[in-house]
Amino acid sequence: MSIYLALLAAWALLGCAGLLRPTRPALASRLLYPLGAIVGLALAITALVNFGAPVERLVLAIGLPDLPFHLRRDALTDLFMLLLGAASAGISIFGAGYFSSTPSRVPGLLCLQYHLFLAAMGMVLLADDAYSFMVAWEVMALASYFLVTTEHRVPQICSAGFLYLLIAHVGAIAILLGFGVMQGGSWQFTFDAMRAADLSPPWAAVAFLLALFGFGAKAGLVPLHVWLPEAHPAAPSPVSALMSGVMLKTALYGVLRVSFDLLGPPDWSWGLVPLALGLFTAVYGAVFAAVQTDMKRLLAWSSIENVGILFTGVGLAIVFGGVGMSALAGLALIAVLYHALNHALMKSLLFLGTGAVLHGTGERNLGRLGGLLRRMPWVAWLTLIGALSIAGLPPLNGFVSEWLLLQSFLSAHEVPKPFLNMLLPLGAAIIALAAAIAGYVMVKFFGVIFLGQHREARLAEARDAGWRERFGMLLLAAGCVALGLFPTQVIGLLAEVPRQLGVMDALPPAANWWQLTPIAGRQASYAPLIFFAVILAIFLLTIRLVSWFYHLRVRRAAPWDCGFARLDARMQDSAEGFGQPIRHIFQPFFSMRRELPTPFDDAPRYQVEVGDRIWNTLYRPLEDVVKRAAASVAWLQQGRIATYLLYGFVTLLALLAVVL
């Protein structure tokens, strides 16, 4: 506990140290970011050591006189600390290289915001009263706002930042109101008071929905996702990685904390809301990711998809827990936590990959990339690991969590509620669809950036990332592989969380260390290590046999391409082209504007703009209403002193009337 605090304080101090030399990048990149990475690593190790230890509490007498900071750590905190520490270690090392050579006006300030952001996320996890939680939450939101608007002279980035700030605050208000409901009349805002409060079911439901709204806004749950594809690409890549990989998980942490700890045990019917929204979000995000042409925006949409999967799992866990199927609730919750951990590593890895590409080429439009595998082999192969993981392919980590989630869906027909037991298994179909589209998205992402020929001539001069960038990505990729190959050990750790939350009893010890059996051996098992070893063995054996019986001679020649002689890089599929089938199949999701050439055009132009239908149908009218309301309020501003005096006088009279 005190180690956590010390490490978080170290982050804050490192940030402040950046201000010593605010305009020189050398101090921050040579010393502060690597130190920050070490702090992250220490945080992850502390979390690992802490796992399973009894709950600790601490009261810090800082802040307002009567409102000390209450802090608490339990297994849920440990898990998210592990996630924060592990992801940030890789990202910070990468950042050391990335920020040293990226022109930035005030590198010291960036360093301060970056480390404050990290420390604030850690504080969110430790907070044990509404006051300190909201302070940490706001510091996190503001620090990330400033990080998003690093390039604040670009108008789009400015407006993206503003949208982010707006939705973050609407969400924060909902969370605050949720805490207000949860204190249940005791007017004590510590989490302990909320745990003890006895809420009537309707009020508990209101609190849950408020929390879901607030945290869902932070996580990017559809329809509160609109800020995410704008804000994540706007930030520098290491920051995008932190926001997508870690910050979205703090929202998940909030949902879990509120629903399983503060309000717990939740009612089964509440679970249907995150379940339905999550399923919709998963498909919606995946479909939109498939049609993006900007590589970072594509990843942002893919984050939305993964948030959908996470919330689906949360909903499932609540339903299972509510009807008393505790083992399955635990399984679903473990799947969620596993996926959170996976997504933190793999999405960070992918965002860092785009950062390295952006750095090496100065280009983020998929239509102008291509063929970088040959120019940037390190970045490409490491990104491939991330891409295969997030596509949910065995034996990497993305598959494990998807497998666990599908296994828990498989038992959903046992829920003793009519109709529900028939509808729930269909959720698996939607998750499977989203996962399959994610595979499509990742082939597009990796194939268009790294494979094929250079779509622009200057890509031939692209340089591979520096050693710090490589090392940061290597750490994250190693994490992905390890989480994929050793699921039994990871689950042994994760199972501590549902146990401490009282969702399920302790997990029975695994039958053997290499085989994963969620329910019973005969029902299902998965042993990635053996699986991987066998594939690798066959792979090597085949090469060996081919060379033994035949030969491994190779001759290089021009590509065949069905005999078409004049091959040109522009004949490859563009990003738009690769997304065309999805655009065609899921047409109702999009609002499209197309500009088609006529046969008589001298300079034919084809342009298609794919928009988010929710933006047009939900946010535009909302914006109009707000604008109109603002305009009518503006009528009060007459600009004459006499009028303002009159307002004061009327207010005074009204107050007097109330008081007397």
Which residues, numbered 570-599, are part of the site for other proteins (CB under 8 A)? 571-573, 577-578, 580-582, 584-585
Strands 69-73 and 56-60, how do they pair? antiparallel
State whether residue 609 is helix, strand or coil: strand
Q: Which residue's CB is nearer to other proteins, number 190 or number 354? A: 354
Distance of CA 28 to the CA centre of its chain: 26
398-427 footprint of other proteins as x/- string (CB under 8 A)? -x---x--xx--x--x-------xx--xx-
Q: Which of 392, 472, 479, 498 binds other proteins (CB under 8 A)?
A: 392
| Span from 38-46, 151-159, 542-550, 643-651 in contact with other proteins (CB under 8 A) | 542-550
**Min. distance of Cβ 273 from other proteins in angstroms?**
22
Longest distance between any two alpha carbons in the chain, whole Å: 104
Q: How far apart are CA 273 and CA 311, in angstroms?
A: 9
Site for other proteins in 498-537 (CB under 8 A): 515, 521-528, 530-531, 534-536
Q: Write down the least CB distance from residue 586 to other proteins, Å.
A: 10
Among 64, 558, 603, 636, binds other proteins (CB under 8 A): 558
Helix (H) or strand (E) holding 591: strand 590-595
Q: 502's torsion region: left (phi>0), alpha (psi -120 to 50) or beta? A: left
Question: In angstroms, what is the minimal distance from the CB of 293 to other proteins?
Answer: 15
Closest C-alpha to 430, from 590, 285, 591, 587: 285
The angle, 0 to 180 degrees and rounded to 10, between the axes of the packed helices 467-485 and 377-390 is 30
Q: Which of 149, 183, 150, 186 is nearest to 164 (CA)?
A: 149
> Among residues 159, 542, 643, 651, which is the contact residue for other proteins, using CB under 8 A?
542
Question: Which H, E and C letters describe 60-110, residue by residue?
Answer: ECCCCCCCCEEEEECHHHHHHHHHHHHHHHHHHHHHHHHHHHCCCCCHHHH
370 counts as binding other proteins under rule CB under 8 A: yes
Exposure of 155 in the CB half-sphere (CA atoms within 13 A): 0
Q: Which of 388, 462, 476, 493 binds other proteins (CB under 8 A)?
A: 388
**608 is a contact residue toward other proteins (CB under 8 A):** no
Q: How far is the CB of 163 from other proteins (least distance, A)?
A: 31
Binding other proteins (rule: CB under 8 A), the pick from 298, 437, 473, 485 is 437
CB-wise, 561 or 623, nearer to other proteins? Answer: 561
Q: Which of 19, 60, 166, 546 binds other proteins (CB under 8 A)?
A: 546
CB of 445 to other proteins, least distance (A): 11
367 binds other proteins per the rule CB under 8 A:
no
Contact 125, 250 (CB under 8 A): yes
Sequence-distant (6+) residues with CB within 8 A of 106 are 22, 23
Closest separation in Å from C-beta 515 to other proteins: 7
Q: Do residues 195 and 261 touch, judged by C-beta distance below 8 A? A: yes
Total residues at interface with other proteins (CB under 8 A): 84
Binding other proteins by CB under 8 A: which of 134, 569, 608, 614?
A: 569
- In the complex with other proteins, the residue whose CB is nearer, 48 or 433, is 433
